[in-house]
Amino acid sequence: MAMQKTKQLTVWVQDRPGILGEVADALGAKKVNILALVASVVEGSGALRMVVDRPAEAKEIFTQRGWKTTEEELVSFALPDQPGQLGSVSKKLGDAGINIHYAYTGAARGVAEASAYLAVSDVEAALKALR
């Protein structure tokens, strides 16, 4: 299982109907591909956490639109698409004293692997623990 650091952008937007479409359309118009996304509401604001193929371009698009953006490092990896795989990784991190703040995964049905993204308390320690 290949582990790596990955940049995640969080776009802080107004919580209202249609905002996800506006963000996605703005990226699509500039040919920036969303590789992973989790959308939620945090303290009354929309928080669109995403991994994209061109983060610098995405940040520029967000700035031009007036959308506040933050950047974080995550641990990313591909998991075999089989029951118990995420549990195994999570247990290793817990045993190493690393807290998972949130996670998102996804795969199309029938693929061999699923991409996983973990926001953890210590990225470097997590990479070491998962080797």
pLDDT in single tens digits along all 131 residues of the chain: 678 999 999 999 999 999 999 999 999 999 999 999 999 998 889 999 999 999 999 999 999 999 999 999 999 998 888 899 999 999 999 999 999 999 998 777 778 777 888 888 999 999 999 88
CATH for 3-73 (3.40.190.10, 3.40.640.10, 2.30.40.10, 3.30.2130.10): 3.30.2130.10
What top-level class would CATH report for the domain 74-129? alpha beta
For residues 79 and 86, give the distance between their C-alpha atoms in angstroms, rounded to a whole number.
Answer: 7
Residue range(s) in the chain whose domain bears CATH number 3.30.2130.10 = 3-73, 74-129
For residue 52, the SS3 value is strand
pTM of structure: 0.85
